[in-house]
Amino acid sequence: MEGAVARWYERNTRRSMPEFKSLAQRMAGTLAPGARVLEVAPGPGFFAIELAQLGNFEITGLDISATFVEIARGNAEREGVHVDFQQGNASNLPFPADRFHLVLCRAAFKNFSDPVGALREMRRVLKPGGRAVVIDLRKDVDTAELDRYIHALNAGALNAFIMKWTFRLMLIKRAYTREQFEQFIAQSGFEKSDIQANPVGYEITLSKCREQDQVA
């Protein structure tokens, strides 16, 4: 997303701020002070910014969209927090191996052109013992559940209409099944995985084992 489309997305995604706050609180509770966190495809940066307000973490956001990087930097500045938002590709992360304690990707994985490559890169940049969390739409989402989710955002009639048809004509088609995620994970190198379903999507936790755990 670039330009006006990215800015429309930012305005409507802002309505999900309670969800970002809840996710940030949940992730912060698992991190030690000084932990390094990477958000892949942060869009407007809402999760990373919320997390930055909750603790002394070193947070980086990487998005392929130049417009989103600009928006996210502006949002962080207005909130008075530091997040290193950069432009780059999820399948070729510009970071050294074994750097981050947590990698998170929310509502973007279905858009990656190389999903296995993105997972392999997430694993590469994780420290041993670190974990990646992928949250995204599920292919078999019930449209009634999706409509209820959109309605709860109070986006207004026109925006709700656009969002419904964007999901139905584009996003659901790009989404993956549990079986597809399992296949991607099997090729990624991650040693442990857990897939939890909710009414509209999956939350997938992937763990990179420590060397002693691999030997055991």
Domain boundaries, the chain: 3-139+176-211, 140-174
Q: Decide: 188 and 119 in contact? Cβ < 8 Å.
A: yes
Per-residue pLDDT band for 25 (boundaries 50, 70, 90) equals very high
Query: At residue 32, what is the residue type?
Result: A
Question: Residue 49's Cα: distance from chain center in Å?
Answer: 13
Task: Write out pLDDT tens, residues 174-198.
Answer: 899 999 999 999 999 999 999 999 8
E strand intervals along the chain: 36-40, 58-63, 84-87, 100-106, 126-137, 192-197, 201-207
Higher pLDDT, 22 or 155: 22
Q: How crowded is residue 168: how many other Cβ atoms within 10 Å of its Cβ? A: 13
Higher pLDDT, 148 or 94: 94
Architecture of domain 3-139+176-211: 3-Layer(aba) Sandwich (3.40)
For residue 124, give the H/E element and its range: helix 115-125
Q: Indicate the SS3 state at residue 132.
A: strand
For residue 158, give the H/E element and its range: helix 157-166
Task: Report the pLDDT value the prediction gives residue 125, as an integer from 0 to 100.
Answer: 98
| Location of structure tokens 């048809």 | 165
**Which DSSP string do the residues of 51-69 spell out, in sequence order?**
HHTTSS-EEEEEES-HHHH
- The mean pLDDT of the chain is 90
Burial of 128-145, coded b for 16+ CB within 10 Å and e otherwise, reads eebbbbbbbbbbebeeee
Task: Report the pLDDT value the prediction gives residue 215, as an integer from 0 to 100.
Answer: 39
Q: Indicate the SS3 state at residue 70.
A: helix
Task: Write out pLDDT tens, residues 82-128.
Answer: 999 999 999 999 999 999 999 999 999 999 999 999 999 999 999 99
Task: Report the pLDDT value the prediction gives residue 209, as an integer from 0 to 100.
Answer: 87
Q: How crowded is residue 83: how many other Cβ atoms within 10 Å of its Cβ? A: 25
